[in-house]
Amino acid sequence: MRNEDVFEAVAAALQRGEPAALVTIIRAQGSTPQRVGAKMLVFPDGRTVGTIGGGCYENEAFWKAKAAIETREPVIAKYELADDIAEDSGLICGGQMEVYIEPLEPAPALYLVGAGHVAYHLAQAAQTVGFRLHVIDDREKFANAERFPEAEEIVVDAIPEWLTRAELPPHAFAVILTRGHRHDLDALRALAPKQLRYLGLIGSRAKVARIYEALEAEGIPAEQLRRVHAPVGLNLGAVTPQEIAVSILAELIAVKYGKIGADATTSDSQDAGSLRWTPRDAAETTSV
């Protein structure tokens, strides 16, 4: 397969907002099945485009590429094609190869569930740092192109029904910012079972606890709720809708770069727990 095909697949993946890893031969010495510059694109679901020569070493590079997508860290892998890994595949070429494995992370999709005041300010800030906006609300007065001119998608529909039907990509970020407890409950019921890079819920700790209790009583597994970042945002002392939007965006960026775990129960920072914030009770009304 031509490298042009790989480049086309890279462009299409970035356009779709789908992460991948690009594997490129950067050094080849002696007899090797592929030349320097040969490329293979690896997707999280195991699809590939292109080849670096086949055999066990390509399989090894494939798994390293999948791991790089998760860690978002580039890797250089070295292969001796006369060693056991080559013998297993019959490729006794007698050469050496190095490959560079580069994770490709597109601009992430951000789903704003609720189009009120906090969502408005969050959208304005998030689009400036590369998030691709999707806005969902059942009120056209709030969910419209005039208020969200940078949004790729604006949905005016019953929120829980649309969320249940929608196939959100697993690398997407979603923040629940609806106008009230009942709507937040319905939205979280629809989103909790989905695999997402990030799921956040606005509200005080008391409100979050009530919603969790209601969903657990319905049979929603506790492990699904433990993935939710709630109360949403970092502890910046935020009070106004504008400030709350900044605190939420700070957390989204921290998750994007691995400073806080995508799972709300894990983090790369020992101090992550101290960064969680408890919004004042008045914050529950700022999303309408």
* pLDDT single digits (tens) 134-178: 999 999 999 999 999 999 999 999 999 999 999 998 889 999 999
Q: For the chain, where do the domains classified as CATH 3.40.50.720 start and end? A: 109-285
Q: Which residue has the higher pLDDT, 17 or 267?
A: 17
Residue listed under structure tokens 């580039």: 74
**CATH code 3.40.50.720 for 109-285:** yes
Query: To 10 degrees, what angle do helices 117-126 and 241-256 make?
Result: 50
Given pLDDT bands bounded at 50, 70 and 90, which one contains residue 94?
low
Q: Are 40 and 61 in contact (CB under 8 A)?
A: yes
Report pTM. 0.77
Given pLDDT bands bounded at 50, 70 and 90, which one contains residue 262?
low
* Highest-confidence segment of 3-7, 40-44, 265-269: 40-44
Secondary structure of residue 221 in the 3-state scheme: coil
Residue 128: is it exposed, middle or buried by C-beta count within 10 angstroms (0-12/13-18/19+)? Answer: exposed
Q: Which residue has the higher pLDDT, 280 or 202?
A: 202
* Highest-confidence segment of 78-82, 86-90, 250-254: 250-254
Q: What integer pLDDT is reported at residue 264 of this predicted model?
A: 65
Residue 193: asked if its preceding bond is cis (omega within 30°), the reply is no
Q: What is the mean pLDDT of the chain?
A: 87
- Is pLDDT at 278 greater than 60 in this prediction? no
- Is pLDDT at 210 greater than 80 in this prediction? yes
Residue-wise pLDDT for 70-84, tens only, equals 888 999 999 887 654
Helix (H) or strand (E) holding 21: strand 20-29
